[in-house]
Amino acid sequence: MRKTIVAGVITAFLASFAVATPAQAGDVIVVPRSCPAGYFCAYQLADFDGLMWKWAGDDSNWGNNYSGGLSASNRATSVFNNGTPCYKCDHVIVFDEAGYEGYLGWFAPGEAVWNLPDYQDNKIEAHEWGGAVG
Ligand SMILES: [Ca+2]
Ligand SMILES: [Ca+2]
Protein backbone atom coordinates (compact mmCIF):
# COMPACT_ATOMS: atom_id res chain seq x y z
CA MET A 1 0.00 0.00 0.00
CA ARG A 2 2.79 2.39 0.93
CA LYS A 3 4.57 1.74 -2.39
CA THR A 4 1.38 2.55 -4.27
CA ILE A 5 1.05 5.91 -2.53
CA VAL A 6 4.68 6.84 -3.25
CA ALA A 7 4.26 5.90 -6.91
CA GLY A 8 1.15 8.05 -7.08
CA VAL A 9 2.98 11.04 -5.66
CA ILE A 10 5.82 10.64 -8.14
CA THR A 11 3.37 10.39 -11.02
CA ALA A 12 1.59 13.53 -9.87
CA PHE A 13 4.92 15.34 -9.57
CA LEU A 14 5.97 14.33 -13.09
CA ALA A 15 2.58 15.35 -14.45
CA SER A 16 2.86 18.83 -12.95
CA PHE A 17 6.40 19.13 -14.29
CA ALA A 18 5.26 18.19 -17.79
CA VAL A 19 2.60 20.88 -17.76
CA ALA A 20 5.06 23.57 -16.67
CA THR A 21 7.74 22.62 -19.20
CA PRO A 22 7.80 24.49 -22.53
CA ALA A 23 7.28 22.51 -25.73
CA GLN A 24 10.28 20.37 -26.65
CA ALA A 25 11.28 18.61 -29.83
CA GLY A 26 8.92 15.73 -30.31
CA ASP A 27 5.96 17.44 -28.69
CA VAL A 28 2.92 17.83 -30.86
CA ILE A 29 2.38 21.47 -31.73
CA VAL A 30 -1.00 22.37 -33.13
CA VAL A 31 -0.14 24.69 -35.97
CA PRO A 32 -2.38 27.67 -36.62
CA ARG A 33 -5.05 27.20 -39.23
CA SER A 34 -5.08 30.95 -39.79
CA CYS A 35 -1.87 30.71 -41.84
CA PRO A 36 -2.71 29.97 -45.50
CA ALA A 37 -0.85 27.29 -47.43
CA GLY A 38 2.20 28.74 -49.14
CA TYR A 39 2.68 31.53 -46.61
CA PHE A 40 5.12 32.42 -43.88
CA CYS A 41 3.18 33.76 -40.90
CA ALA A 42 4.36 35.72 -37.90
CA TYR A 43 2.35 36.23 -34.72
CA GLN A 44 2.49 38.95 -32.13
CA LEU A 45 2.18 36.58 -29.18
CA ALA A 46 3.36 33.11 -28.23
CA ASP A 47 1.31 30.11 -29.28
CA PHE A 48 0.36 31.74 -32.61
CA ASP A 49 -1.84 34.26 -30.86
CA GLY A 50 -2.48 37.98 -31.14
CA LEU A 51 -2.03 39.83 -34.43
CA MET A 52 -0.83 37.92 -37.50
CA TRP A 53 1.23 39.07 -40.46
CA LYS A 54 1.72 36.85 -43.50
CA TRP A 55 3.81 36.76 -46.66
CA ALA A 56 3.86 34.60 -49.75
CA GLY A 57 7.15 36.08 -51.00
CA ASP A 58 10.27 37.84 -49.69
CA ASP A 59 10.09 41.07 -47.74
CA SER A 60 13.12 43.25 -47.07
CA ASN A 61 11.20 45.52 -44.71
CA TRP A 62 8.51 44.43 -42.26
CA GLY A 63 8.05 48.06 -41.23
CA ASN A 64 5.32 48.65 -43.83
CA ASN A 65 3.33 45.48 -43.15
CA TYR A 66 0.45 46.24 -40.85
CA SER A 67 -2.02 44.16 -38.92
CA GLY A 68 -4.40 45.75 -36.44
CA GLY A 69 -2.58 49.05 -37.01
CA LEU A 70 0.79 47.68 -35.93
CA SER A 71 3.74 46.97 -38.20
CA ALA A 72 5.37 43.55 -38.07
CA SER A 73 8.82 44.94 -37.29
CA ASN A 74 10.28 43.63 -34.06
CA ARG A 75 6.93 42.14 -33.00
CA ALA A 76 7.00 38.44 -33.94
CA THR A 77 7.00 36.04 -31.00
CA SER A 78 5.81 32.91 -32.82
CA VAL A 79 6.11 31.93 -36.48
CA PHE A 80 4.92 29.27 -38.87
CA ASN A 81 6.51 28.41 -42.21
CA ASN A 82 3.57 27.04 -44.15
CA GLY A 83 5.45 27.30 -47.44
CA THR A 84 5.14 24.90 -50.31
CA PRO A 85 8.07 22.48 -50.43
CA CYS A 86 10.50 23.34 -53.25
CA TYR A 87 14.23 22.95 -53.80
CA LYS A 88 16.26 25.74 -52.11
CA CYS A 89 13.24 27.99 -51.88
CA ASP A 90 11.11 26.67 -49.01
CA HIS A 91 13.14 27.77 -45.99
CA VAL A 92 12.48 31.17 -44.47
CA ILE A 93 15.62 33.07 -43.51
CA VAL A 94 15.01 35.88 -41.04
CA PHE A 95 16.93 39.07 -40.27
CA ASP A 96 17.26 41.53 -37.43
CA GLU A 97 17.24 44.60 -39.68
CA ALA A 98 15.43 45.72 -42.81
CA GLY A 99 17.42 45.14 -46.01
CA TYR A 100 18.30 41.56 -45.00
CA GLU A 101 20.88 42.65 -42.44
CA GLY A 102 21.70 40.74 -39.26
CA TYR A 103 21.02 37.06 -39.91
CA LEU A 104 18.86 35.54 -37.16
CA GLY A 105 18.28 32.01 -38.45
CA TRP A 106 15.90 30.06 -40.64
CA PHE A 107 12.71 28.01 -40.44
CA ALA A 108 12.20 24.82 -42.40
CA PRO A 109 9.02 24.15 -44.37
CA GLY A 110 6.29 23.06 -41.98
CA GLU A 111 8.24 24.38 -38.99
CA ALA A 112 6.12 26.08 -36.36
CA VAL A 113 7.83 27.80 -33.44
CA TRP A 114 5.31 28.59 -30.75
CA ASN A 115 7.66 30.81 -28.74
CA LEU A 116 10.80 32.19 -30.37
CA PRO A 117 14.02 32.13 -28.33
CA ASP A 118 15.28 35.44 -26.94
CA TYR A 119 17.71 36.07 -29.80
CA GLN A 120 14.80 36.04 -32.28
CA ASP A 121 11.86 37.18 -30.17
CA ASN A 122 10.60 40.66 -31.15
CA LYS A 123 13.64 41.14 -33.41
CA ILE A 124 12.71 40.06 -36.93
CA GLU A 125 12.41 42.87 -39.49
CA ALA A 126 12.91 41.09 -42.82
CA HIS A 127 12.83 37.63 -44.35
CA GLU A 128 13.51 35.83 -47.59
CA TRP A 129 12.82 32.38 -48.94
CA GLY A 130 15.78 30.19 -49.79
CA GLY A 131 17.60 27.03 -48.90
CA ALA A 132 18.84 25.98 -45.49
CA VAL A 133 21.78 28.08 -44.31
CA GLY A 134 24.90 26.51 -42.87
CA1 LIG B 1 7.32 45.02 -46.25
CA1 LIG C 1 15.29 43.98 -35.18
Instruction: Report all structural domains of the chain as residue ranges with CATH numbers, in order of start.
Output: 2-130 (2.60.20.10)
pLDDT tens string 76-101: 999 999 999 999 999 999 999 999 99
The bound ligand whose nearest atom lies closest to the alpha carbon of 94 is 2
Q: Is 56 helix (H, G, I), strand (E, B) or coil?
A: coil
Task: Give, as residue ranges, everything with CB less than 5 Å from ion ligand 1.
Answer: 59, 61, 64-65
- Give the sign of the dihedral formed by CA 113, CA 118, CA 119, CA 124: positive
- Give the sign of the dihedral formed by CA 31, CA 34, CA 37, CA 40: negative
Tell me the H-state helices in the chain: 2-20
20 CA to middle of ligand 2, Å?
A: 29
Banded pLDDT at 31 (limits 50, 70, 90): confident
- Burial class of residue 114, CB neighbours in 10 A (0-12, 13-18, 19+): buried
DSSP structure class, residue 59: B
Banded pLDDT at 133 (limits 50, 70, 90): confident
The bound ligand whose nearest atom lies closest to the alpha carbon of 64 is 1
Query: What's the pLDDT at 27?
Result: 60
The bound ligand whose nearest atom lies closest to the alpha carbon of 62 is 1
The pTM for the full model equals 0.78
